[in-house]
Amino acid sequence: MSLLDTPLIPTLTRALDLTSQRQTLVSQNIANVDTPGYHTRDIDFRQELQRALPDDEAVAAGPFVREVPGLIERPDGNNVSIDRESLLMAQNQLQFQTEIQLLHSEFNRLQLAINGGSGQ
Partner 1 sequence: MSLFSLFQISGSALTAERLRAEVATSNLANSETTRTPEGGPYRRRMVLFQSQPGARFHLLLANSLGETSATVTGGVEADQVVDDPTPPLLRYEPGHPDADPSGYVAYPAINPVQEMVDLMGAERAYELNASAVQAAKQMIQQSLQILK
Q: Residue 68: name the closest of 29, 35, 97 by CA.
A: 29
Half-sphere exposure of residue 42: CA atoms within 13 angstroms, side-chain side: 19
| Strand, coil or helix: 117 | coil
> CA-CA distance, 84 to 71, in Å (whole number)?
10
The mark string for 58-97 relative to partner 1 (x by CB under 8 A, - otherwise) is --xxx--x----------------x--xx--xx-xx--xx
- Least Cβ distance, residue 4 to partner 1 (angstroms): 14
Residue 38 beta carbon to partner 1: minimum distance, rounded to whole angstroms: 5
Among 5, 27, 74, 77, binds partner 1 (CB under 8 A): 27
Min dist CB 116 to partner 1, Å, is: 22
CB of 81 to partner 1, least distance (A): 12
Alpha-carbon distance 18 to 49, whole Å?
7
Q: Alpha-carbon distance 65 to 83, whole Å?
A: 20
**Contact between 49 and partner 1 (CB under 8 A)?**
no
Q: Which helix (H) or strand (E) holds 72?
A: none
Residues that bind partner 1 (CB under 8 A): 16, 20-21, 23-24, 26-28, 30-36, 38, 41, 60-62, 65, 82, 85-86, 89-90, 92-93, 96-97, 100-101, 103-104, 107
